Amino acid sequence: MKFAHSLPLAFLTVLATCWLHDTSADDRPNIVWIIPDDMSAHFSCYGETAIETPNVDALAKGGVQFNHAYVTAPVCSTCRSAFITGMYQTTIGAHHHRSGRGTEKIYLPANVTMLPKLLQDAGYHTSITGWPTNGRLGKTDYNFEWDATIYDSADWSDHAPGQPFFAQIQTQGGKLRGKDAKGWDKVATAAKKRFGKSTPIESVVLPPYYPNHPDIVRDWAAYLDSVRMTDAMVGDVVAMLESQGVRENTLILFMTDHGISHGRGKQFLYDEGLHVPLVLNGPGIEQGTVRDDLVEHIDIAALSLAAAGIDIPDSMQAQDILAADYERRDAVFAARDRCDETVDHIRSVRTDHFKYIRNFLPNRPYLQPCAYKDAKAILIALRESNAAGRLNDDQSLLFQETRPEEELYDLESDPHELHNLADDSEHHATLIALRGKLNDWMERTNDQGRMPESEAQYESDMKVYLDTLRRRATPEHLQTVERNIQWMRDRTAEGK
């Protein structure tokens, strides 16, 4: 377990043992995860100046803030499958988005146990909910078969007197802004009601790879309002913990499930899709600590077990990044595979200085057909701007018809990852080193994505997807997905 680095390791071991066995007077900490969807680190404590986020800032000021936390998967179900097991999604076969939902099932390896089960077996009450609580289990979205009884209820308040609890709070986050003007107006109205005003358009500063299109600017303002609403929700959670008299003995963890849903964000391995906030606050955490080392989002599984005094399984790939003997990483890894109907295969490794990306399907465009993303007003605006020739070189990168097999970026001089150095002779040694580091990771972790998804698995998952759309979507959207599926089949048949 951690807690303050000043405590002797021997004392921590004894304390952990007492917590694990002395359940008659259980003072083990409660553990609360707050995990919004689709949100990058656009909080004041991370340098955002267009809005204020006092509640997340307060958690950071009173705890530890990780400035370089990265997800191992830039889409929700694969990311969640990873953090709930403390395993790379590629190792456990959960790397395709919303897979294993049909006749072709996915099962966890025998030596992998989901975190809530480990905590439950140790005497914790476990829950998962949205916010505010509504009596229903919150978002899980795991890409494998699992037993819902690992969650005792949908509300941490159901725990027995004196029993420690583990609560996952899953919120909409960036999804609050929707996909078009209707969603933008809705979140702006909510922000006005909560804060007195919405985020002004004039305060928006777009990354240089997006054009100053009015729809993209409006969407970004709405996104910032969703960040503000999320921050207020964090304050509500803390207030409820305080009202129940359990705040002082509760470890609060705030993280998002991946970066902003945008052109180069969600579903891609650029930092916009991978970089997330990670803030911890609670008993034993040193206040005002800022960490600049690289950490992976799966580490929240290991540090939570350690905080509860539970042994971390030897097979778990997550690490207790709060442990006194933790050895800091020199790199973090990520993978993107199929998202809904859209087949892809990308891997990356990031160090403090460089990002290396390998595109295993270089003969496909970056922006392959994807009904989910293409329905967003921002993607429509990007495509229209590109067709009209209004994008500069940086903004048109996503519209290349093919991709380089390798991408290499100097993150110190090029933080927006715009200038590919893979063919630059001055960086050849770095390219070779990171290529080898990625190869080693894929081999060492038994990356299941080294083999293409089977046709049976794809067809099984697409049937579930299409059946769902037939019940819920418009005929036009359904036809788009069917057309995209055929596009993917045709590319595969062509060897692309």
CATH number of the domain where residue 383 is located: 3.30.1120.10
Residue 32 domain-assigned?
yes
How far is 458 from 451, CA to CA, in rounded Å?
13
How much is the mean pLDDT over the chain? 95
Between vectors from CA 66 to CA 64 and to CA 67, what angle results, nearest 5°?
A: 135
Does one domain contain both 345 and 318?
no
Residue 203 domain-assigned?
no
Does one domain contain both 242 and 387?
no
Residue 168 domain-assigned?
yes
For the chain, what percent of residues have pLDDT higher than 90? 95
Query: How much is the average pLDDT of 223-246?
Result: 98
Does one domain contain both 231 and 256?
yes
What CATH number is given to the structural domain containing 287? 3.40.720.10
Instruction: Tell me which of 267, 295, 323 is where a domain ends.
Output: 323
What is the reported pLDDT for 10?
37
Please answer whether residues 288 and 280 qualify as being in contact, where contact means their C-beta atoms are separated by less than 8 angstroms.
no
Supply φ then ψ for residue 356, to 5 degrees.
-115, 130
How far is 267 from 96, CA to CA, in rounded Å?
11
Please answer whether residues 171 and 34 qualify as being in contact, where contact means their C-beta atoms are separated by less than 8 angstroms.
yes
Residue 202 domain-assigned?
no
What is the reported pLDDT for 1?
35
pLDDT in tens, 132-182: 999 999 999 999 999 999 999 999 999 999 999 999 999 999 999 999 999
Residue 357 burial class via C-beta count within 10 angstroms: exposed 0-12, middle 13-18, buried 19 and up = buried
Does one domain contain both 344 and 451?
yes
pLDDT of residue 116 exceeding 80, the answer is yes
pLDDT of residue 23 exceeding 80, the answer is no
How far is 264 from 366, CA to CA, in rounded Å?
9
What is the reported pLDDT for 19?
39
What is the reported pLDDT for 9?
39
Contacts of 467 (CB under 8 A, 6+ apart): none
What is the reported pLDDT for 148?
97
Does one domain contain both 401 and 318?
no
Does one domain contain both 272 and 382?
no
Query: How much is the average pLDDT of 279-299?
Result: 97
Does one domain contain both 146 and 82?
yes
Instruction: Tell me which of 439, 457, 475 is where a domain ends.
Output: 457
Does one domain contain both 236 and 349?
no
Instruction: Tell me which of 323, 344, 379 is where a domain ends.
Output: 323
Query: How much is the average pLDDT of 3-21?
Result: 39
Residue 208 domain-assigned?
no
Does one domain contain both 404 and 345?
yes
Residue 329 domain-assigned?
no
What is the reported pLDDT for 99?
98
pLDDT of residue 6 exceeding 50, the answer is no
Does one domain contain both 381 and 261?
no
pLDDT of residue 59 exceeding 90, the answer is yes
How far is 345 from 447, CA to CA, in rounded Å?
12
For the chain, what percent of residues have pLDDT higher than 70? 95
What residues make up the domain containing 348? Answer: 336-457
Does one domain contain both 315 and 347?
no
Residue 489 domain-assigned?
no
The H-assigned helical ranges of 277-342 are 299-307
Residue 233 domain-assigned?
yes
* HEC-encoded secondary structure of 27-46: CCCEEEEEEECCCCCCCHHH
How far is 309 from 284, CA to CA, in rounded Å?
13
What is the reported pLDDT for 25?
55
Does one domain contain both 314 and 397?
no
Number of domain units in the chain: 2
Contacts of 10 (CB under 8 A, 6+ apart): none
